[in-house]
Amino acid sequence: MSATTWKQLPSSAIIMLASLVAVCSTYFFWAVWMRSGSDLASWTSWSDTTWQIAEVDSRGRIIRLGSHPLAIAALVGSVTVCCLAFAFGAWQFLTGKEVRRRQDNDAISSRIEKVGQELDEEVYALMNVLKQHLDFSSSHSEALAKVNKTLPSVTSPEQIRAIVQRLINENTRIQNEVDTLNARVQHSQQQIEKLRASLSESQRLGMLDAVTHLKNRHWLEANLPREVASALEYKEPLSLVMADVDHFKNINDSFGHAVGDEILRRFAELLSKNIKGRDTAVRYGGEEFILVLPHTELEGAHNLGEQIRAELEGKKWMHHKTGLPIGTVTASFGVAQLRPEENPDCLLERADAKLYEAKAAGRNCVKSDGGSI
């Protein structure tokens, strides 16, 4: 294995590999230490004498004195430490993805919070600029009002010339101030547009699943109540299709997580291809997906689930590196339509119950629950 490959492995996998190597090496070093012979046969043979210390009496007879405490302590201690290290590595490996997902979510949340704070500060600065603009306009109006009061009493050309010069100077000052304020307003406007774009991008990333690029659970929690409220208000149908890839754990265990992720991506593409309009495909978590189908009644949602199920079952899956066949991949589907005065949680629970029923019925099928508005 090259140095680059080692660097790409997570620390938990390295710990697990090192633990296995250590367990296998323990007996080897223990046998070398305890035996005077160095032939391979003596290392691979297990004998009761290995665990004993003995003395020879004056007549040359061997006296067994019992188990060697140092040998037992070394062997049992080493194996125990290696097993604990392997268990620790396995725990890190299994929980690492969840930790990384939380870290990604925290990073996105921090980014959104930071951009939002910067946007608030820029808007506040813009408000101050506009206030200064109004103050300058007010001072200009006051200057003009003073000139207007003095005009009736002006009689000499010198006085008229002084007033005109005063107006010119005041106009020049105001013009310079207005130009400066306009430049600051334009700059603030550009900054606000950039911050709004950054905030929009951060929110978009926070609503997308990293593997499939579908909407994620955060999007569903934020938007499903809105869809339910709209459907109830306008008395329009709304259906949910909950899908689960069958035996997905076996796929991961047999072919690895890279193949599992690729299957999830292809299944996501299949879902996206079969929806239209305001329909939305969501990765709910793990191998579970949800289709949010506004303006769709139960029969249409059931037919859509059956169409996707049949298309998935008909696909030929092969390992992208070895070319070996993976076998048939199937999915189970639960369908529910929104009922009058029903909340989003109840709708999700009914769709999930039908999905469980589809699994209990042997998987690779679609089960629907009635309901109408």
Using the predicted structure, report yes or no on whether residue 41 has a pLDDT greater than 80: no
280 and 186 share one domain? no
**Token pair belonging to 160:** 């008229």
Residue 366's H or E segment, with its range, is: strand 366-369
> Helices 217-234 and 344-360: crossing angle, nearest 10°?
110
Using the predicted structure, report yes or no on whether residue 13 has a pLDDT greater than 70: no
169 and 53 share one domain? no
Domain boundary among 170, 205, 240: 205
242 and 276 share one domain? yes
Is 265 contained in some domain?
yes
**pLDDT score at 196:** 63
> What is the C-alpha R_g of the chain?
38
Is 212 contained in some domain?
no
CA distance 303 to 293: 12
Domain boundary among 55, 89, 105: 105
342 and 223 share one domain? yes
CA distance 330 to 305: 12
**pLDDT score at 101:** 57
Domain boundary among 148, 181, 205: 205
- Give the pLDDT mean for 205-228: 87
Q: Give tens-digit pLDDT for 160-175.
A: 677 677 777 777 777 7
Q: Give tens-digit pLDDT for 296-306.
A: 999 999 999 99
297 and 347 share one domain? yes
- Looking at the chain, the whole-number percentage of residues with pLDDT higher than 90 is 32
162 and 231 share one domain? no
Is 240 or 161 the better-scoring residue by pLDDT? 240
State yes or no: is 287 an active-site residue.
Answer: yes
**pLDDT score at 300:** 95
Helix (H) and strand (E) counts in the chain: 10, 9
CA distance 148 to 145: 5
221 and 195 share one domain? no
Highest-scoring range by mean pLDDT, 64-68, 93-97, 192-196: 192-196
pLDDT band at 5 (very low <50, low <70, confident <90, very high): very low
> Helices 69-150 and 157-206: crossing angle, nearest 10°?
160
Domain extent at residue 190: 109-205
**pLDDT score at 24:** 66
Q: Give tens-digit pLDDT for 175-215.
A: 777 777 777 767 766 766 766 665 555 555 568 888 998 99
117 and 201 share one domain? yes
For position 302, which CATH number holds?
A: 3.30.70.270
Strand partners, 337: 239
**Range in 25-39, 210-224, 350-364 with the lowest mean pLDDT:** 25-39
**pLDDT score at 328:** 92
CA distance 54 to 241: 74
Is 40 contained in some domain?
yes
Using the predicted structure, report yes or no on whether residue 236 has a pLDDT greater than 70: yes
Is 348 or 65 the better-scoring residue by pLDDT? 348
Coil, helix or strand for 16? helix
Using the predicted structure, report yes or no on whether residue 87 has a pLDDT greater than 60: yes
**Token pair belonging to 118:** 């910067």
For position 159, which CATH number holds?
A: 1.20.58
Using the predicted structure, report yes or no on whether residue 343 has a pLDDT greater than 60: yes
- Give the pLDDT mean for 22-50: 53
256 and 342 share one domain? yes
**pLDDT score at 147:** 66
Is 179 contained in some domain?
yes
Q: Please, what is the average pLDDT of the chain?
A: 75
75 and 132 share one domain? no
223 and 184 share one domain? no
Is 3 contained in some domain?
no
- Give the other-Cβ count within 10 Å of 48's Cβ: 8
Is 210 contained in some domain?
no
Is 167 or 108 the better-scoring residue by pLDDT? 167
**pLDDT score at 58:** 62
Using the predicted structure, report yes or no on whether residue 45 has a pLDDT greater than 60: no
In the chain, how many domains are there?
Answer: 3
Choosing from 122, 262, 287, 342, which is the catalytic residue?
287
Using the predicted structure, report yes or no on whether residue 340 has a pLDDT greater than 50: yes
Is 144 contained in some domain?
yes
CA distance 164 to 158: 10
259 and 277 share one domain? yes
Q: Give tens-digit pLDDT for 262-291.
A: 999 999 999 999 999 999 999 998 999 999
Is 161 contained in some domain?
yes
